Amino acid sequence: MPSDDANPNPLLSERIRIALADEIMAGALAPGQALDEQQIGDRFGASRTPVREALRQLAAAGLVEIRPRRGAIVGGFTAERIVEMFEMTAEIEALCVRLAAWRMTPVERSRLARLHDESEAMVANNDIDGYDRLNWEFHRTIYEGTHNSFLAEQAIALRDRMAAFRRTQLREEGRPVRSRGEHEKVLEAIMRGDGEEAARCMRAHMFNASIALERFTAKREPAPNN
C-alpha cells in the first residue's frame, strides 16, 4: 500500500503512538474521553491492530487508562497532576544528584563541568533549543553518574514524559540565565562531593522550573476550560 507521506519510521503503531501522545499532551483530547479503536484507526488509515498496540504503549506510559473489555480513555492530565509529576521529577533528580555527587568519577565530573561551560554561549545568544539540548546532556550525565543504570533509565523515562513542559518552561523571559545559575550551584556541590547540598539545589532548580512553566502558561492561556 503506497503511503502518502515520507515517514522514516516504518512502524505504523509507533507513528500512531507518537501522534496520540502529542494530542493528549497538547490537550486536544480531554481527560476521560473514550478512545474508540476503530475510529482512531480510520483517522490514521490503519486497522485496529496497530491502534491497539499504540494504546497499550500509552497506557504503560500513563497517558491513557485501559479498562479490560471497556476500552481506553484519556488519562487525567489535569493541572494538579502536572504539579504532582513535577514534584516527583524534582525528587528523582534530587535523588540522582545526591548519589552522583558521591559516586561520579573524575572523568564524569570533568565532562559535567565542560557541558556547563559550553552552555554559557547558548544562554548569551538566547539559543533556547541549543540550551535545551545541553540542559538535557547535563542532567543525563548526572543520571549516569549514579552508576545505577536502572535508576538512570527510570529518570530518563520520566524526563521524556515531561519533555513537552520542560522546553516550554525555558521560553519565559530570562529563565535560561537563571536556569544556568542554578545549574552552577548544583555543579559546585557535586564538585565538593556534598550530595545533600546538591540535592537541595536540584530541588530548588526543579521548583523554579515548575514555577516558570506555571507563569508562562498562565500568561499564554489565561483560562484553561474544563
Partner DNA sequence: TGTTCCTCTAGTGTATGCAAGATCGTTTCT
Partner DNA sequence: AGAAACGATCTTGCATACACTAGAGGAACA
**One residue of 19, 25, 46, 85 binding its own copies per CB under 8 A:** 85
Residue 14 is a binding residue for its own copies (CB under 8 A): yes
Question: Residue 18 is which amino acid?
Answer: I
- The C-alpha atoms of residue 137 and residue 130 are separated, in whole angstroms, by 11
The residue range among 61-69, 108-116, 127-135, 187-195 that interacts with its own copies, by the rule CB under 8 A, is: 61-69
Residue 18 is a binding residue for its own copies (CB under 8 A): no
Query: What's the gap between Cα 1 and its chain centre?
Result: 35
DSSP assignment string, 132-157? HHHHHHHHHHHHHHTT-HHHHHHHHH
| Nearest distance, CB of residue 171 and its own copies, angstroms | 24
62 binds, among its own copies, DNA, none (CB under 5 to 8 A by kind): its own copies
Q: What are phi and psi of 176, to 5 degrees?
A: -55, -40
- The C-alpha atoms of residue 114 and residue 131 are separated, in whole angstroms, by 14
Residue 73 and residue 35 in contact, taking contact as beta carbons nearer than 8 Å: yes
**One residue of 41, 75, 145, 195 binding DNA per CB under 7 A:** 41
**One residue of 61, 66, 82, 204 binding DNA per CB under 7 A:** 66
**CA distances to 22, 121, 162, 164, 183 from 116, in Å:** 30, 10, 22, 22, 8
User: What is the contact mask toward its own copies in residues 137 to 176, using x (rule: CB under 8 A)?
Assistant: -----------xxxx-xx----------------------
* Grid cell of 149 as nine digits: 543504570
Residue 8 is a binding residue for DNA (CB under 7 A): no
In what side-by-side order are the strands of the sheet with 71-74? 34-35, 71-74, 64-67
Please report, as ranges, the residues that interact with DNA according to CB under 7 A: 10-14, 34-38, 41, 45-50, 52-53, 66-72
In the complex, the residues that contact its own copies under the rule CB under 8 A are: 9, 11, 14, 49, 52-53, 56-57, 59-62, 68-69, 81, 84-85, 87-88, 91, 95, 148-151, 153-154
